[in-house]
Structure 1
Amino acid sequence: MNYILFDGATRAQLLPFTYTRPVADIRFGILTMRERWEYLLGYTTSTITEDYLANKWPMVEMEENIMINAAYFPTEELLIQIQNLKKSEAIFDNDDIVAFFSEEDAEVNFEKYSQIEIKGEVIKLENSWDIFAKNDKAISCDFQLVTQDKESEPIPSSNYVKNAENIFIEEGASVENCSLNASNGPIYIGKNALVMEGSLLRGPIAIGEEAIIKMGAKIYGATTIGPGSRAGGEINNSVLFQNSNKGHEGYLGNSVLGEWCNIGADSNNSNLKNNYAEVKLWSYQSERFENTGLQFCGLLMGDHSKCGINTMFNTGTVVGVSCNIYGTGFPRNFIPSFSWGGSAGMKIYQTSKAFEVAELVLKRREEEFTEEDKEILTHVFEETSKFRRY
C-alpha cells in the first residue's frame, strides 16, 4: 500500500513552522510525525502540501493510496483502523478527515464514502503551542516505540541515576558525571549525542542524534533537543527542532524553536504573565492575537531566526522565519518573517543577506543551502510581506 501524508486544515494554525515544512515534518517527542508514521507502517511516505513546498516534498501517487492527515498522532487504535481501510472508506474525527482510501486520478467525493468514526484516544496537533504542550505524551509514546525489543547502552557509573529502567542510551552517546532523573518520565539519548559533565536532566526528555548538551545545563521535561542541536543554560518544556542552538546561559521555557535557530548568550523568555492571566498568541489564521487557554507560553520561533546576546522575549512571543533580533528592551510579541532589529525599531531583512547567512550556517554542519531552499524562503518572504509595515 502507498501511504501519503497530507497537511490538513490545521496547517495555518501551525505557522510559522509550516511555512518551511509540511505538517508531517514537525518534530515533537523523539520523532517527527513522518518518522513516527513510517516507523509504525513499515513504509516510506510522500506528502501532499503547499505547491511551493512540493518540489522538496513531492507526492508519489500509485494505483491505490491511503491518505493520512499528518496532524494526527498514530495511536494503536488509529493505526489498526488505517491498515484496515478499504476502497471508498474514510475515517473522520467529527468533521475532520483523518484518513481515506484513494485511487489514482479518481475524484474524491466524501458523500459517497463510508464514514468511520475514529476510535480510542485522539492526539492531534491543532495549534502551534501543542508542540510543547503535548510533548510529554509524545515522548512517552515514542520512548516505548523506539526502545521496544532493544537494549540500552550501559549507563556509566559516574552518573547520578534515578529510575534507570526509564533511561535509554543509544550507541555512541556519551554521558558522564551527570544527573539523570527519570522518575517523572523517560530520558532518551540518541546515537552519538554528547551530554557534558554537570548536566542535570529531569525527564521526560528526548535528546536527538548527535545533539550536544553543554556543561551544567539544567533541563526539565517535557523537553526535546532535536538531532544536531545544542542546548545549555535552563530549559523547561520546550522543543528544539533539528540543528538549532540554545547553547548558553539563559532561560527557555514552554517554547518551540524551528530549524537553524540560534539563541544568543544570556537571552531569556518569559512564560508567565505578571497577572497570571491566560496568554494570548499571534494567530496567522485570524491575523490577530487569540487566547490560547494556557497560563504558561513562551517563545515560538520559525526556521533560520536568531537573537543576539541578552535578548528578552515577553510571554507569548511569535517570531517568524529568518528574523534577526537584538538590542535592549522587549521586542514586539509578534515579529514578522524577515525582520531585522528589536524594541528600538525594525527593518526588512532582505533575502540576499538572509541567504548569505543561511548558506554559511548550513555549511558549518556540512549541509547545502539548495536552490529549493531559496525558492521556499523567497515564497515565505513574499507571502509575509503584508505583516511588515516598515
Structure 2
Amino acid sequence: MNYILFDGPQRNDLLPFTFTRPVADIRIGVLTIREKWENLLEERTSTKTEDHLAGKWPLKVSEKNILIDSSVIPTKSLVEKIVSLNSNEKLIKGDKLIAYFQSGEKNIDVSSLEPINFEEEILTVDNTWDIFSKNGEAIELDFEMITKGRSSAKIDDSNFVKAVENIFIEEGAVVENCSLNASSGPIYIGKNATIMEGSLIRGPFAICQGAIIKMGAKIYGPTTVGPYCKVGGEVNNSVFFQNSNKGHDGFLGNSVLGEWCNIGADSNNSNLKNNYAEVRLWNYNTENFARTGLQFCGLIMGDHSKCGINTMFNTGTVVGVSANIFGSGFPRNFIPGFSWGGSAGTTTYKLEKALETMELVMKRRDVELTSHDRDILKHAFDYSAKWRKA
C-alpha cells in the first residue's frame, strides 16, 4: 500500500508555516506529523500539497493508495482503522475526512465513498496556535511511542530528578547539574542533545537531536526544542521547529518558531493582554484577526525571520517568512514576510539580500539552500507583497 499525506483546507490557516512546508512537516510534540505517521505505519509517505512545494516534496502515486489528512495526529488505533480501508471506503470523524482509498492516479469523488466513522477522539492541528496549545498532549503520545520497550540512558547523579520514570535520555545526550521535574509530564532528551548546568526543566518537555539548552535556562512545559536549536533564558509552552535559536536571556511564551529563526538577546514577548481578554491572531486566509479562544498566546514566527536585541513583541504577534525586526517600541502585531524594520515602520527586505543571508546562515550548519528552497521562498515573497510597504 502507498500512503500519501495530503494538505487539507486548513493549510491556509497554518500560514506562515505552510508557506515553506506541507502540513505534514510541522513539528508538534517530539516529532513532525510526518514522522509520527511513518513510525506507526512503518512505511514512507509522500505528499499531496501546493504546486510551489511539490518540487521539494514530490507526490508518489501507485496502483493502491491511501490518502491521509496530514493535520490529524496518528494513534495506534487510528492507524489500524486506516490500513484496513477497502477500495470503496473513507474514514471520517463527524464531518472531518481523515483518510480515503484511491486506485491509481485518477482522482475520485470522495463523497461517493462509503463512510466509516472513527469512534475515538482525534487530535488535529487546524490553526497555528494549536501547535503550542496541543503540544502537551502530542508530547505524551510521542513519548509513549518512542520509548515503549526501550531503556533510557543513565541519568547523571549530579542532577536533581523528580518522577524519574517519566524521563528518557537517548544515547550521547549530556545533562549534568540540572533540575529535571517530570511530575507534571514526561521529559524526552534526544540523541546528542545538551542541557547545560544550572538549567531548570519542567515537563512536558522534549529536546530533539543535537539541540542545546544554555546555562541557567528556565523551561516550563509543554515545550519542544527541535533538532539543532539553541535555547536560553525563560521559555514557557513553546515549540521550536528546527535550527532556530533563542540563545540568550529574555522571555518566550505560548509561541511557535519555524526553522532558521533567531531571537536577539533580551528580547521578550507578551503572552497575556493587560485586560486579560481573548487573544486574536492574524489569519492569512481571511486577511483578518481570528479568535483563538485563548487567554495566553504569544509569538508566531515563520521560517528565516529574526529580531535584534531587546525586541518587544505584543501579545498575539504573527511574523511572516524572512522578516528582520529591530529597534525600540512594539512592532505591529502582524509583520508581513520579507519586512525590514520595527515599530517606526518597515520597508521591503529585498529577496536577493534575504537569500544571501539565508545561504550564509544555513552554510554554518552544512545545510544547502537548494533551488527548490529558492523557488519556495520566492513564492512566499510574492504572496506577501500585498501586505508589505515598498
Please state whether the residue corresponding to 2:72 is helix, strand or coil. coil
Match of 2:286 in 1: 286
TM-score by length of 2: 0.99
Match of 1:161 in 2: 161
Deviations 1:170-215 (CA, angstroms, capped at 9, x unpaired) = 0000000000000000000000001100000000000000000000
**Per-residue deviation at 1:105?**
2.3
Deviations 1:39-66 (CA, angstroms, capped at 9, x unpaired) = 0000000000000000000000001000
Gaps of 5+ in 1: none
Match of 1:247 in 2: 247
The root-mean-square deviation of aligned C-alpha atoms, in Å, is: 0.7
Match of 1:174 in 2: 174
Letter in 1 for 2:355: F
**Per-residue deviation at 1:262?**
0.1
Segments of 4+ in structure 1 off by > 2 A? 93-96
Structure 1 residues 1-390: aligned runs within 5 Å: 1-390=1-390
Letter in 1 for 2:268: N
| Cα distance in 1, alignment partners of residues 163 and 112 from structure 2 | 53
Please state whether the residue corresponding to 1:206 is helix, strand or coil. strand
**Per-residue deviation at 1:93?**
2.5
CA contact (8 A) 1:250 1:267 kept: yes
Letter in 2 for 1:293: G
Letter in 1 for 2:206: A
| Cα distance in 2, alignment partners of residues 213 and 285 from structure 1 | 35
Letter in 1 for 2:287: E
Letter in 1 for 2:323: C
| Cα distance in 1, alignment partners of residues 53 and 325 from structure 2 | 26
Q: Percent identity?
A: 63
Paired residues in the alignment total 390
Please state whether the residue corresponding to 1:357 is helix, strand or coil. helix
CA contact (8 A) 1:78 1:119 kept: no
CA contact (8 A) 2:239 2:256 kept: yes
**Per-residue deviation at 1:96?**
2.5
| Cα distance in 2, alignment partners of residues 333 and 365 from structure 1 | 31
Deviations 1:223-244 (CA, angstroms, capped at 9, x unpaired) = 0000000010000000001100
Pick which of 101-110 and 189-198 moved more.
101-110
Letter in 2 for 1:168: F
**Per-residue deviation at 1:9?**
1.1
Deviations 1:137-175 (CA, angstroms, capped at 9, x unpaired) = 000010000001111000000000000010000000000
Letter in 1 for 2:243: N
CA contact (8 A) 2:159 2:176 kept: yes
TM-score by length of 1: 0.99
Gaps of 5+ in 2: none
